[in-house]
Structure 1
């Protein structure tokens, strides 16, 4: 049970990184990114390509970040002449195209079979020391990401992001470069998502295109909305809550003696019901956005 809880905590931290990344985009900059999972996938495939070609983990994280930055810039370019809703659809389309490419380009990505045998980050350590070290790394990454996001959004840069979110035309009239703000925000968010993907690949030791389905993006959206869009702590709370709920779904299945196929359906129901409930009755989420918080210089 102890190692199970460690596993759930690791996954909660990794999804917390993804939630912080998406929250920076949608909660502060108003960027409706429905292709978030592909930024995570850049990190996973960076790790798998480096492993398959015997480049080492340092090359893996560099590849993952580089891939994510390229995708982030492509997303930003798409958004220059598209409204928020159309841009969101375009990001979803790009993510699906890249997933299909990963599914078919077996020479590079392993194709539909994926790539297995990726080494654990602390594979030489005995259990449970190895998983505990991995959890420590994930917590450290989450804290660094939280500090970075908090630093950015409580500065003049964060004020510019919120102004762009609420009144983009006013922001442009005041001299803010909207295209540059979008690109910078997406690039910062992409690095966080790629870091999550890289650690995930070395934790589960497998990378495949089935990890990049669009439902994963909407799971991350549910975490942000339930936790509280526009609040970094809220994004983390939403990720932790959803991961622990997901982890205990099999126990509920066993308690009611339900078939195994009900597990996936129950998890999807949790996502859908959670989204609907919070959109209808508590749009600010569990931890609402703080208005008028103190800004750094």
Structure 2
């Protein structure tokens, strides 16, 4: 069942989402050759707790850490470890926070130092597909409209769209209705309603869309061991249009990147320095 949120509930979800955004922004300047994913995980847990929240992933379904850290051919759900990142790696950092009864959950894929041009294209196209999908999250549309838009953009660029893992509704639980696949057909699936909140998260592979799982029971990899990218935003349907609750602003601020990609999805001004 899709839950219609009040404006007050949406603001609480936004608050949790922005804690995740700030966490990713803090990590952005720490993602460099030589650092381990376990070190980054410990930084994130401390940062989240310092902001009065609980790490959203820690202990969920018995996951052992605060971040899902998925480098290179790992798609999602990678477990932090003591292996140092290397120049040319890419790494998806997926983070969650729980505060005031609501979750925030979003992700960004970082390049470690200089990355190969073809890998940079994968990251660019995946992030583009995220916003293309968000644009279709509007009153009158359905789940399939978002998935179709994401799939079309990724596949026309020669990339594979993961089928088995999907976005989701978000609120008092990390995973709520509806499921939000990154593929689909226009006009199919559940209809969007005012006040709903979802996490839209394209997971796009450089090669095949097929995946495999490690024996740890968590880590998902591409079947052909080519790189994968993953970007995720939390989005509410307000006045019939998509409004971002999360932001990449803090990441871009840390990395010295100028971008106006989020402007069309902000119906109100957010003071990012609160």
Scaled to the shorter chain, the TM-score interval is under 0.3
TM-score (norm 1): 0.26
TM-score (norm 2): 0.27
Higher helix residue share = 1
Higher strand residue share = 2
Q: Which structure: larger Rg?
A: 1
